[in-house]
Amino acid sequence: MFQINAAEIGNVKVNTSQNGGFSSDQIADMATDKIVYVADNAPPAIQEQARLFADRVRNLLRGYVDLAKKEERATIIQVIEQTGNKELANIIRRL
Amino acid sequence: MAITQAMCTSFKQELMLGTHNFATNGNAFKLALYAEGGGGKSSTTATLGAATTAYTTTGEVANSGSYTAGGGALTKVAPTTSGTTALTDFSDISFTTATITAMGALIYNDTNSDKAVAVLDFTSNKTSTSGTFTVTFPTADASNAIIRIA
């Protein structure tokens, strides 16, 4: 006789934003959670090290998310300016 | 509780019947969002749990932004094993420019008669206002993956 010990589902996490998309901090947190997982049953010293590593990853990601947003906006502004809509380009520039 | 996290009992049976195929070129799966306390379409309340057998519109959140009835298509990650555990995973899913308040979700098989897979309980109302509503799936390992058979 064979028995399946457990058929289980994991816990999802929900992230939401208000009046716009996610902030760079939120995106960096979400990405860091995917990259670094700290098990609750890991030895305290390992947990501490993993959390420090996660903080470094988060800070690095935040910087690059900011850069990606800025560069994407720069491209959009350029395309809009080429169509002659300087007012709209300025609105996006101020974001 | 009107929404109780569970792997649907019918899904366990249907696994033995070969109803669900999680391969990347297999069946299409979707995730629909649900509200409690009459927050769903037409003031309906969701009742979801292990006994849920298929997608229902009762208690589903209203259309908003990129969210439309039936929810969003999930991108599958091919099933794999870790030790003696088999597991499968999905990519995170987002609904943008949406005003949504949801208490849970249902994963279901869009290819095979909308048959239910699992009910997800967010444990509290999650709200986006003219923003993004993202469901992030857990780490795909033997202890945390969204669907595991040990």
Give the HSE-up count for residue A63: Cα atoms under 13 Å, Cβ half-sphere: 5
Strand-strand pairing, A13-16 and B115-136 = antiparallel
Angle separating helix axes A24-35 and A44-82, nearest 10 degrees: 140
Give the Cα separation of B74 and B41 in Å (integer). 22
B143 contacts in A (CB within 8 Å)? Answer: 39
Give the Cα separation of B66 and B79 in Å (integer). 28
Give the Cα separation of B71 and B117 in Å (integer). 14
Range of weakest confidence among A33-42, B27-36, B132-141: A33-42
Q: Report CB contact under 8 Å: A13, B136.
A: yes
Three-state SS for chain A is: CCCCCCEEECCCEEEECEEECCCHHHHHHHHHHHHCCCCCCCCHHHHHHHHHHHHHHHHHHHHHHHHHHHHHHHHHHHHHHHCCCHHHHHHHHCC
Contact B58, B96 (CB under 8 A): no
Averaged confidence pLDDT in chain B: 94
Summarised one tens digit per residue, pLDDT across range B114-126 is 999 999 999 999 9
Q: Residues B60-83: what's their mean pLDDT?
A: 96
Summarised one tens digit per residue, pLDDT across range A13-72 is 999 999 999 999 999 999 999 899 888 888 999 999 999 999 999 999 999 999 999 999
pTM of the predicted model over 0.90: no
What pLDDT, on the 0 to 100 scale, is given for residue A22?
A: 96
Q: What's the gap in Å between the CA of A3 and the closest CA on chain B?
A: 10
Q: Residues B48-52: what's their mean pLDDT?
A: 96
Q: What's the gap in Å between the CA of A30 and the closest CA on chain B?
A: 8
Q: Report the first-to-last Cα separation within chain B, whole angstroms.
A: 27
Summarised one tens digit per residue, pLDDT across range B55-70 is 999 999 999 999 999 9
Give the confidence band of B51 by pLDDT, cuts at 50, 70, 90.
very high
Other C-beta atoms lying within 10 Å of the C-beta of residue A20: 12
Q: What's the gap in Å between the CA of B53 and the closest CA on chain A?
A: 16
Could you give the residue ranges of the DSSP H alpha helices within chain B?
9-16
User: What percentage of chain B carries pLDDT values higher than 90?
Assistant: 89
CB of A16 within 8 Å of a chain B CB? The answer is yes
ipTM value: 0.89
pLDDT at B10 over 80: yes
What pLDDT, on the 0 to 100 scale, is given for residue A1?
A: 66
Q: Residues B27-37: what's their mean pLDDT?
A: 95
Give the Cα separation of B61 and A21 in Å (integer). 20
* Domain extent listing, chain A: 24-93
A14 contacts in B (CB within 8 Å)? Answer: 102, 122, 126, 133-136
Which residues, numbered 51 to 80 in chain A, qualify as contacts with chain B under a Cβ-Cβ cut-off of 8 Å?
none
What pLDDT, on the 0 to 100 scale, is given for residue A38?
A: 85
What pLDDT, on the 0 to 100 scale, is given for residue B122?
A: 96
- Find all residues with CB under 8 Å of A25, minimum gap 6, and list them: A62
Q: Which residue has the higher pLDDT, A95 or B10?
A: B10
Range of weakest confidence among A60-64, B1-5, B28-32: B1-5
A8 contacts in B (CB within 8 Å)? Answer: 7, 147-148, 150
Give the Cα separation of B50 and B121 in Å (integer). 12
